[in-house]
Structure 1
Amino acid sequence: MSPSQLAHRQTRQTIVRLLSSMASAKEISQYLKRFSQLDAKRFAVVKVGGAVLRDDLEALTSSLSFLQEVGLTPIVLHGAGPQLDTELSAAGIEKHTVNGLRVTTPEALAIVRRVFQSANLELVEALQRNGARATSITGGVFEADYLDRDTYGLVGEVNKVNLAPIEASLRAGSIPVIASLGETAGGQILNVNADFAANELVCELQPYKIIFLTGTGGLLDENGKLIDSINLSTEYEQLMAQPWIHGGMRVKIEQIKDLLDKLPMESSVSITRPADLAKELFTHKGSGTLVRRGERVLTATSWAELDLVRMKQLIESSFGRELVPDYFEKTTLLRCYVSENYRAAMILTDEAQGVYLDKFAVLDEAQGEGLGRAVWNVMREQTPQMFWRSRSGNPVNHFYYAQSDGCYKLGQWKVFWFGAPDFDAIRGYVDHCAARPPSLRG
């Protein structure tokens, strides 16, 4: 075994161990089953920037090889911006951009083509050294016209995507590695912006996952903290109104929204580091930023406003237990927050001690999408005080710890709260939770 194969094997074993420690076997198998049921070309498009190729090639090849090893074949499209900057500078060609696009002269195009082919082969050969099957595709995918020859030179705008080379690679069980070079109907090579090429490829393939691999590992908030999920249906307008959303980040979010608007509801965008790709794909918690179109969150103040058959199915499926027969008759609803497709819901009641969270239910298929958090966020905007209980072994407790002001252990229960006015209120929360009868059988 060569040193590179040994390093790859060790990295792969590390990925498996990390996954095992971060998620249950049920969680991992759930995602594997979901992905493996897709048509091969609908699994994922992975966009790799040139900086990742330059700085993180080993982690990239290990993660892509791991996907192939578990029976999933991603479609990879790469850029080569930093490499191109270096080569053009060495050739004495000054970089000139207009509206963020690189002006490409005939002299520059020869270097563009060489650099992209070199970067493409470097990734393909690295994958092959690590035991993966990969195919170099540096042409024949993107048919393009001149974007504006007078302004940009030999820069193309994609007008057609030819999937034949990609499909041939997938049929052979090989990872297609695509360079973002276009060509006119007459055969003229054109420089195509990698992000624009990725968008056209995604619109043609309609994949389940679109993955942007970056050095930052996701989108960051104003404090430099990772934003783990964005539900565009409920969060887009509020997010775009934030003063710290500007420049490249603003453009990126707008581009992602425009892209997801053209894709099926189940499609999503993940932004993560190469080393964290498996965790982002195969665990509910993920590792990066997950962006979905999401579902609107509806608010009801009476049971009559809700489809109780679907609500019952949601609760029982989420908890794996049956509701007591008279649950809806005996529970006086204060507010219910439910996603429009009844995949996540919160039921709040008004007790003498304050607002009580009686049920927080999220379907297995919706876990990892950020849908539960989206429902929680809508609730939180309207609820300054709340308490609830959760069984000690509930895997959601780590989320509750982060969202609550405090927790009290009560036998098999943990009592959580936020917004409590004083210690007497907390004592009341605990007493209520201790006396509250169960509403689920078993």
Structure 2
Amino acid sequence: MKAGQDRIRNLVINSFRAVGAENEARFYIKVFRSRRPHRFAVILLDPRLTHLELEMFAIQLAFLSELGLTPIVLHEGVLNRGGRRRKDGVDALHETLVASWNLKGIPVVSFLEEDERDSRPNLSGIRRATRSGQVPLVPISTSGTGTPKRKESVRSEFLKWIVAELKPFKVLYVTPEAGLVTREGRILSNVNLRLDPPLALQKELSRVSALLFGEILSLLEVAPPPLVVQVTGAEGFLEELFTQRGKGTLVKRGAEIVRHEDFSTLSRGRFSSMLGRAFGVPLRRIYHSRSFNRRYPIRSIFLERGYRGGAVVRSAGEWEYLDKFAVLPAARGEGLARDLWRTLLEYHDKFFWRSRASNPVNQWYYREADGMMRRGGWFYWWRGIPPSEMARLLPILDDIPDTLAQKDSPKGKKGRGS
């Protein structure tokens, strides 16, 4: 089994290598596999998906299954008004999905209940299925419930219930629109409810997306943190899961980021511990030394209120230097890095930084930076600074001392760290 998972993992990674996202894919596969199986993700298939879209989704679901990732898949069922199952409704769709997935080697477990008196599945059975590497397929019965608005309410309440009970890390809506779409036809990439006013945003969305966004807001109001919701299409499903850029819309509550001017208003010990856990190595003593802080005085410290991530901006001569940018492993995949970055840009629009060539976040940095230069085993980045100034910045970057207890330093820069 492990050999098969390694083979599929390499296939997935190679496919992302073609678009420059190999390190991101490795990173997210590791993050997702570290969680309890039933808490990985709940996926809701839109009833408007075509047969071709369902086939594309199934192919990508087979990849996830081979990787040892077992999402819980929900689809809307069809009942007649008497509450009995119609063979041309939920049973037909459900049986079609089961047959298709079995042909693709997906170890699916059907939760199509025979007892209509209880339309909610056995949660213990779902947990057992995911622990054994099986994918639960669960119908939501919405027909016979009246108006379309009532159907949406039934689906919403079912989803709230299963999220409250299983506490998944992600909820993914797989829809024909492949994201939340504005009236102009643009797919939103990221929605931060702390920074983006929901009512104003809802008015900008198409009718279908506005209705779905309302359902997402209702879910996030009652769901336990740190749940994030993603809206994507069948074709871009894996890209939405395994890359920073994604291919759809990420909706989240948004982290509370607080700016500090120095360490006097926060716990230096907790902050240092967070950095050490995020980087996998402790800080060197020099980081809090007087000499280092006189040479590179702090301009801003950005900290998530729960100490799950943070960033440090210092002065380096006449320039500003992004000294640290880190998120705890347990918080990765929530979009916390984007929240930190967005807050940082409100205060600093011209700065430089560096990262190791092996850093999985480099693909994201590449999209956020104005320029990049590779120097030995390092990437040097800048934003808001003219490229012509980099000749003056290189000696500064080269001279910044190592503040992390790295086991291995990039070639050509022995003793230097980020």
TM range (shorter): 0.7 to 0.9
Deviation sequence 1:251-294 (CA, Å, 0-9, x none): 43342232123122132222223344344445555543333334
Shift of residue 433, structure 1, vs aligned partner: 1.8
Shift of residue 19, structure 1, vs aligned partner: 5.9
Structure 2 CA distance for aligned equivalents of residues 140 and 20 of structure 1: 48
1:110-189 equivalent positions in 2, closer than 5 A: 114-131=88-105, 132-135=107-110, 137=112, 140=115, 162-164=120-122, 167-168=124-125, 171=128, 175-181=135-141
SS at match of 1:177: strand
SS at match of 2:360: coil
Aligned to 2:174, which of 213, 217, 235? 213
SS at match of 2:92: helix
**Structure 1 pair 391–127 and aligned structure 2 pair: CA distance change class (3 A):** closer
1:29-428 equivalent positions in 2, closer than 5 A: 30-35=30-35, 37-38=36-37, 40=38, 42-79=39-76, 114-131=88-105, 132-135=107-110, 137=112, 140=115, 162-164=120-122, 167-168=124-125, 171=128, 175-181=135-141, 190=145, 192-193=151-152, 195-196=155-156, 197-220=158-181, 227-233=188-194, 235-237=195-197, 240-241=200-201, 244-245=204-205, 247-282=207-242, 286-328=246-288, 329=290, 330-331=292-293, 332-420=297-385, 425-428=389-392
Structure 2 CA distance for aligned equivalents of residues 395 and 44 of structure 1: 22
Aligned to 1:158: none
Q: Which one-letter code corresponds to 1:338 in the other structure?
A: L
Contact kept, 8 Å, 1:50 with 1:79, in 2: the verdict is yes
SS at match of 1:265: coil
Structure 1 CA distance for aligned equivalents of residues 166 and 357 of structure 2: 44
**Structure 1 pair 349–15 and aligned structure 2 pair: CA distance change class (3 A):** closer
Q: Which one-letter code corresponds to 1:34 in the other structure?
A: S
Structure 2 CA distance for aligned equivalents of residues 55 and 169 of structure 1: 27
**Structure 1 pair 434–264 and aligned structure 2 pair: CA distance change class (3 A):** same
Q: Which one-letter code corresponds to 2:56 in the other structure?
A: A
**Structure 1 pair 261–217 and aligned structure 2 pair: CA distance change class (3 A):** same
**Structure 1 pair 238–61 and aligned structure 2 pair: CA distance change class (3 A):** closer
SS at match of 2:48: helix
Flag the structure with larger Rg: 1
Deviation sequence 1:345-376 (CA, Å, 0-9, x none): 11111343232211112223333321111100
**Structure 1 pair 295–141 and aligned structure 2 pair: CA distance change class (3 A):** farther
Deviation sequence 1:42-73 (CA, Å, 0-9, x none): 44322111222533122222333444444444
Shift of residue 12, structure 1, vs aligned partner: 9.8
SS at match of 2:364: helix
Q: Which one-letter code corresponds to 1:252 in the other structure?
A: L
Contact kept, 8 Å, 1:48 with 1:77, in 2: the verdict is yes
SS at match of 2:344: helix
Aligned to 1:432: 396
**Structure 1 pair 315–262 and aligned structure 2 pair: CA distance change class (3 A):** same
How many residues are paired up?
382
SS at match of 2:285: coil
Contact kept, 8 Å, 2:256 with 2:304, in 1: the verdict is yes
Contact kept, 8 Å, 2:183 with 2:206, in 1: the verdict is no
Q: Which one-letter code corresponds to 1:437 in the other structure?
A: P
Shift of residue 414, structure 1, vs aligned partner: 3.5
SS at match of 1:46: strand
Aligned to 1:147: none
**Structure 1 pair 45–320 and aligned structure 2 pair: CA distance change class (3 A):** closer
Deviation sequence 1:396-415 (CA, Å, 0-9, x none): 33322322222344444443
Aligned to 1:18: 15
Q: Which one-letter code corresponds to 2:209 in the other structure?
A: M
Unaligned runs of 5+ in 1: 1-9, 85-103, 144-160, 184-188
Contact kept, 8 Å, 1:138 with 1:178, in 2: the verdict is no
Shift of residue 304, structure 1, vs aligned partner: 0.4
Structure 2 CA distance for aligned equivalents of residues 400 and 253 of structure 1: 29
Q: Which one-letter code corresponds to 2:256 in the other structure?
A: R
Shift of residue 209, structure 1, vs aligned partner: 2.4
**Structure 1 pair 354–389 and aligned structure 2 pair: CA distance change class (3 A):** same
Shift of residue 377, structure 1, vs aligned partner: 0.5
Aligned to 1:156: none
**Structure 1 pair 389–76 and aligned structure 2 pair: CA distance change class (3 A):** closer
TM-score, normalised with respect to structure 2 = 0.75
Structure 1 CA distance for aligned equivalents of residues 392 and 273 of structure 2: 32
Name the stretch that deviates more: 372-381 or 110-119.
Answer: 110-119
TM-score, normalised with respect to structure 1 = 0.72
Shift of residue 111, structure 1, vs aligned partner: 10
Structure 2 CA distance for aligned equivalents of residues 357 and 16 of structure 1: 30
Q: Which one-letter code corresponds to 1:33 in the other structure?
A: R
Q: Which one-letter code corresponds to 1:255 in the other structure?
A: E
